[in-house]
Amino acid sequence: MGEAAGQLILDVRNLRVEFPGRHGTVTALSDVSLDIRAGEILGVVGESGAGKSMAGLSILGLLERPGHISGGEIWLEQRRIDTLDDYEMEKIRGRKIGAIFQDPLTSLNPLFTVGAQLTETIRQHLDMNKAQAKARAIELLGEVGIPSPSERVDHYPHQFSGGMRQRVVIALALAASPRLIIADEPTTALDVSIQAQIISLLRRLCKEKQTAIMLVTHDMGVIAEAADRVAVMYAGRLIEVGPVEQVLHASKHPYTRGLMASIPALAARVERLNQIDGSMPRLDAIPDGCAFNTRCKSAGPRCTREQPVLIPAGAGASACWLNAGGVA
């Protein structure tokens, strides 16, 4: 892992999230364990509905009720945070964990200047007077690459382009120098030409500030550019994790290999034999054993009997019986 071997910032252990409903309880996340170190970007990938956002929201303490954490632990810098109450969690959000979502407008209030929003966030978390906070706001806008920050600080969100607005959101997320940033599809709503700029900005800030970043995306190009390690989710479970080169080019899980083969840019390098038929099961219809067994061309009898757990594979880990004694 080389440059990424910093201090452990986020440690999620065996996380389980349930949604009680009229037709019984669905398990949205099952036994999800992941960690991120200082200065490291963990990419989280998987098909729509795999549980990527749910994992991010759980860490932020923003699960929509009646959804709740029903098992496991979340540790942030040696402090357990999944047991904190709403008031304490609100203090952690912003101060210790920053969030960046797909649409910058959900994070910005159209009625206030970006400077007013930045200074409010800064003063909420840091001991600064108005003038100090404004100076810090201007500095932050400069750091995220907004030209003429001392003028732009007095502008309203609608006066910025989409890409510049997402930079403002990144400045907001950084305002209190959090140790962890959860970025959920931060470039999906932006023009392709802008996406690369935002990704390289996130990567630069991650390395400079030694922030841990959880980068949720369905875009393998973004993963290839930005991630140090990659976690692959399927039906609410983590099925593979490893260094980005291994997961992209030498994956230890049949699902990941199929996922990579379905991506045009990567498929040129991976033979297109591996397309995955069918679709991911609904959460209330996950088969017994391996959740992927209905679509897996390598499945054997054991795959419907026993659920594979993450087992070390190469420089990472994979939940597949092929790596642990076979599928017979």
Ligand X SMILES: Nc1ncnc2c1ncn2[C@@H]1O[C@H](COP(=O)(O)OP(=O)(O)OP(=O)(O)O)[C@@H](O)[C@H]1O
Q: Are 97 and 56 in contact (CB under 8 A)?
A: no
Nearer to ligand X, 185 or 228 (CB): 185
The Cα 257–Cα 232 span in angstroms is 11
Tokens representing residue 200 in the block: 């390289």
Specify the pairing of strand 229-234 against strand 237-243: antiparallel
Nearer to ligand SF4, 14 or 298 (CB): 298
Q: Which residues of 239-272 are buried (b: 16+ CB within 10 A; e: fewer)?
A: bbbbbbebbbeebbbbbbbbbbbbbeebeeebee
109 phi/psi in degrees, rounded to 5 = -95, 120
* Interface pick for ligand X out of 43, 61, 67, 316 (rule CB under 6 A): 67
Beta strands in 7-67 (DSSP E): 8-21, 24-37, 41-45
Site string for Mg ion, 219-238 (x = CB under 5 A): --------------------
Nearer to ligand SF4, 128 or 311 (CB): 311
Residue 53 binds Mg ion, judged by CB under 5 A: yes
Residue 19 binds ligand X, judged by CB under 6 A: yes
Residue 308 binds ligand SF4, judged by CB under 6 A: yes
Nearer to ligand SF4, 92 or 230 (CB): 230
Nearer to Mg ion, 44 or 137 (CB): 44
* Interface pick for ligand SF4 out of 153, 299, 310, 313 (rule CB under 6 A): 299
Residue 214 binds ligand X, judged by CB under 6 A: no
Residue 217 binds Mg ion, judged by CB under 5 A: no
* Interface pick for ligand SF4 out of 254, 258, 281, 316 (rule CB under 6 A): 254
Q: What DSSP designation does 64 have?
A: P
Compute the Cα dihedral for 142, 156, 182, 215 and give only its sign.
Answer: negative
Residue 275 binds ligand SF4, judged by CB under 6 A: no
Kindly report the number of other CB atoms within 10 A of residue 42's CB atom: 22
Specify the pairing of strand 8-21 against strand 68-76: antiparallel
Residue 281 binds ligand X, judged by CB under 6 A: no
* Interface pick for ligand X out of 43, 51, 243, 308 (rule CB under 6 A): 51
Binding site for ligand X (CB under 6 A): 19, 26, 28, 46, 48-54, 64, 67, 218, 283
What residues line the site for ligand SF4 (CB under 6 A)? 254-255, 290, 292-293, 296, 298-299, 303, 308, 320-322, 327
